[in-house]
Structure formats: structure tokens, C-alpha cells
Amino acid sequence: MEHYIEQLIADIRKATWNMRPPHEMWIESEADPDNELELENMSHVEKYLYGEKEPVSAITGIDQNQLPPPEKLTEEQQTLLAAELENLLQYFHFYLDFPDNYPIHLRYPFILNFWGEEHVVLSFGENHIEFCDYEEENCPFPDYCNTCREFAEEIENDEKKTGSVGFDFDVADLLPTPEEIEHWLQQQKNDNPAKDSPFSNPFEEGDDDDEEYRDDGTKIDTETVPVPGLCIFCKNYLTDDPEENLLCLMTRYDQQNDKSFACGAFEKI
């Protein structure tokens, strides 16, 4: 097994040679990946509008079958492979969100499972992958993470200060208004008039009434899109930027039927 691990690590390091050109939308938009705001916005557009999901094995060039099951490895071997694989994933802009104090050898089973998934690879930026659904009873990192408990304590303290229980809000009031979305769409149309450009407006009006737009150009009733609890604690939620609010809506819509919600733009209040 030692010889196999050495050869596998060599293959993993060689996989960084798999250079990919940036998505054509970056060239068409002339966005600057060194500009933090443009990078964040364009990365969201690439991920949710123009990117196509691929198996992680195809993205990295390392087949999942090459990765030994955890029970066949020693703790030291799992540590070596986990570190090498995380470095490889970051080369393709995937950042796995583990607690800072989470032992490296314990990360290997998570990485192995991630290798069996399909994702959109970004041209620039960071695509954060979460393993937590923010439900304390389902914590994947027991004894290493207190985030859910901290959230619960914050809510409890807020309730004690205000005398209210939970959140009193109408979901419809939290979503972008039709005027905000229309303003963003018109701005995109004015900034990118080329009809054949891959960055041209994908939200062309259809035949449905009283609905907003899905990623594919069809329409959606924004009131039907649930607001995950994670959004309530995010400082990027409901900003003064209509474009940012629209991207948040797209993120929530894309995952509304998933068992758990993950957002790479999440920043705790």
C-alpha cells in the first residue's frame, strides 16, 4: 500500500497540470477577476447561469476509484492523502469548509464522498463546499464545531432583549421587488447589448403572468422560494444592491429541493 500511496500522490500533483481556460463569459464581459466585487458577482453568474456540472473526477483528472477506502488506510496515510487532495481541489477553486481544528485525517472520508459528486468548476475565485446543514442534531463535526450552538444562543439572547419569540417577518418582504429585478435586468441589457454574447440577458420575458425569472429564462413566483435559516444570519442577505439580492434569490431557488442548503457567499452577521 505504501508504494501505491506514493504513486497516487505523484498522480495528484501531476493533475495540477490540467490547465483550463477561463469561461468565455469572462472575456465577453471584460470583468476583472482582481476586482473583489466583480469577481464575486461573475463567479455567481458562472456557477448558476452558464456553468455546467461535471463529475469531480473529470474536473481533477483523478478517478474516485483511485482513492482507497478509509478502512484500508492508516491514520498517517489518510492525513497525507487528505492534504494532497485538498490542495488539488483548491487548484480548481474548490474550498472544503471544515472547522479549523478538525483533524486532517478525519477529513479524508468527506473528501472521498465529495469525489463522487458533480459540481460547476469556476474560472476564478473560491467555491466553498459545506458539509453542514446547520442543524445541531445532525452535526457532521461533533466536538469540533459550535456554530449551531452560537446561533441558538444569539437567538435566545435577542428574544430576551426584545421580548419576542423567533422572527416576525413576511417571506415576500424579504425577496427582491419586481422593480429591483427589472432594474437589474435592464442594466444588464444596456451594458451587454450583443445578442449572441453568452453574457447577454438570459431573462427574456415569457408568457406566464405575475412571476419572476428562473435561470433558464422561464418565470418563477418569488413567493414560493423558501428562505433558509442560514440566510437570516448572513450579512449579505437583503443588501442595498439589487444585483446581489437577485443572485441570492437564484442561490435559494437552485437548492430549494435539496435536503441541505449551502452558500459560498455566506458571511456570519
**263 belongs to a structural domain:** no
Q: Are residues 186 and 112 in the same domain?
A: no
Higher pLDDT pick, 209 / 168: 168
Q: Are residues 124 and 174 in the same domain?
A: no
Q: Is the pLDDT of residue 210 over 70?
A: no
Q: Which residues contact 38 (CB under 8 A, 6 or more apart)?
A: 31, 32
Over residues 202-213, mean pLDDT: 45
DSSP code at position 168: -
On average, the pLDDT of the chain sits at: 79
pLDDT score at 206: 42
Q: Which residues contact 107 (CB under 8 A, 6 or more apart)?
A: 82, 86, 96, 98
Q: Which residues contact 231 (CB under 8 A, 6 or more apart)?
A: 237, 248, 252, 263
Burial of residue 148, with CB atoms counted within 10 A of its CB: 0-12 exposed, 13-18 middle, 19 or more buried: middle
Owning domain of residue 66 = 2-131
Whole-angstrom Cα distance, residue 231 to residue 237?
Answer: 6
Q: Is the pLDDT of residue 201 over 50?
A: no
Q: Answer yes or no: are the C-beta atoms of 252 and 228 closer than 8 Å.
A: yes
Instruction: Name the nearest CA neighbour of 94 among 85, 107, 81.
Output: 85
> Last residue of a domain, which of 83, 104, 131?
131
Strand, coil or helix: 136: helix
> Last residue of a domain, which of 131, 166, 200?
131
Higher pLDDT pick, 173 / 95: 95
Q: Are residues 52 and 154 in the same domain?
A: no
DSSP code at position 140: S
pLDDT score at 254: 82
pLDDT score at 174: 54
Whole-angstrom Cα distance, residue 147 to residue 142?
Answer: 11
> Last residue of a domain, which of 131, 157, 176?
131
Strand partners for 213: 219
Q: Are residues 46 and 153 in the same domain?
A: no
Q: Are residues 15 and 114 in the same domain?
A: yes
Q: Is the pLDDT of residue 107 over 70?
A: yes
**63 belongs to a structural domain:** yes
Q: How many domains does the chain have?
A: 2
pTM to 2 decimal places: 0.58
Least confident segment among 86-100, 114-128, 162-176, 253-267: 162-176
Q: Is the pLDDT of residue 203 over 50?
A: no
φ/ψ bin of 237: left (φ > 0), alpha (ψ from -120 to 50), beta (otherwise): beta
pLDDT score at 195: 46
Higher pLDDT pick, 195 / 182: 182
Q: Are residues 94 and 204 in the same domain?
A: no
Q: Taken in order 112, 116, 118, 122, is the CA torsion positive or negative?
A: positive
**60 belongs to a structural domain:** yes
Summarised one tens digit per residue, pLDDT across range 21-36 is 898 888 888 888 888 8
Higher pLDDT pick, 260 / 17: 17
